[in-house]
Amino acid sequence: MVNNLVENQGGLHNRITRQIHLSPFTLYECKLYLQSREFDELYTALFNCADKYVAVVEALAQKRKGLQKKEIAEITGVSGGRLTHILANLERSDFIMSMAQFGKNVKNTAYKLVDFYTLFYYKFVKNSNSKDENFWLHHFNDASVTSWRGYFTEHEEQIISFLQNT
C-alpha cells in the first residue's frame, strides 16, 4: 500500500498532497468488525500477496514478546527483501512494531504484533468453536480472558465495556 502510493515513482510520483495516518481499530471498532466476520478481507484489501502478510502476522500472534526477523523467516518461509518489505508495510500500518535491542545489531530487532483487532482475533476467534452467545459472560474470569485483559491494562475500561456488550 505504502509503496504503491506514497513511494510510487510512476504516474503518481509527487502527486500526493496529504498523507493520512490511520490508527489501529479501537476495541469497539474490533467488535463491529468481528460481527461482520470479515477478518480475511482485511489483509486482502490492504496488501498484495496478502497470504504472506497473514503468515507473518500469524507467526507474530503466537509469541507475545515478538520475534526476530530470522525467526519469522523460519516460521513463514518468507525471507530476504520480501520479508523486509512486508515488515515495513505492517509497521507503517500499525499492525506491528519493531523493537531494537540496545547495543545489539539491527538484525536482532524484534517485531511484535500490536494491532488489537488482530491480537483479539488470533486469541479468541480464529480457533473458537464456541456457539455460546453469552461466551464473555460465562468466561469473563477464565485464565485466558484474564491474561488478555491484563495485557491491555491501559485499555481496561474499553475492554470491560466491550466484553459486556458482546
6, 127, 128, 166 from 115: Cα distances, Å = 22, 18, 19, 19
**Domain contains 16:** no
**Domain contains 163:** no
**Domain contains 49:** yes
Contact in structure between 134 and 2 (CB atoms under 8 Å): no
What is the residue-wise DSSP string for 49-88?
THHHHHHHHHHHHH-TT-EEHHHHHHHHS--HHHHHHHHH
Please name every residue paired with 98 in a beta bridge, in sequence order, or none if there are none. 111
Q: Read off the CATH number of the domain in which 49 is found.
A: 1.10.10.10
pLDDT of residue 24: 76
Contact in structure between 122 and 34 (CB atoms under 8 Å): no
pLDDT of residue 6: 60
> Which stretches of the chain score pLDDT less than 50?
none
Q: What's the structural domain count of the chain? A: 1
pLDDT of residue 21: 76
**Structural domain containing residue 110:** 37-115
pLDDT of residue 116: 80
**Domain contains 84:** yes
pLDDT digits (tens, 9 = 90+) for 91-128: 999 899 998 877 777 778 999 998 888 888 888 777 76
**Domain contains 5:** no
Q: How far apart are CA 57 and CA 115, in angstroms?
A: 10
pLDDT of residue 38: 72
pLDDT of residue 2: 58
**Domain contains 96:** yes
pLDDT of residue 131: 67
Q: How far apart are CA 69 and CA 101, in angstroms?
A: 13
**Domain contains 91:** yes
Region class of 46: left (phi > 0), else alpha (psi between -120 and 50), else beta: alpha
**Domain contains 13:** no
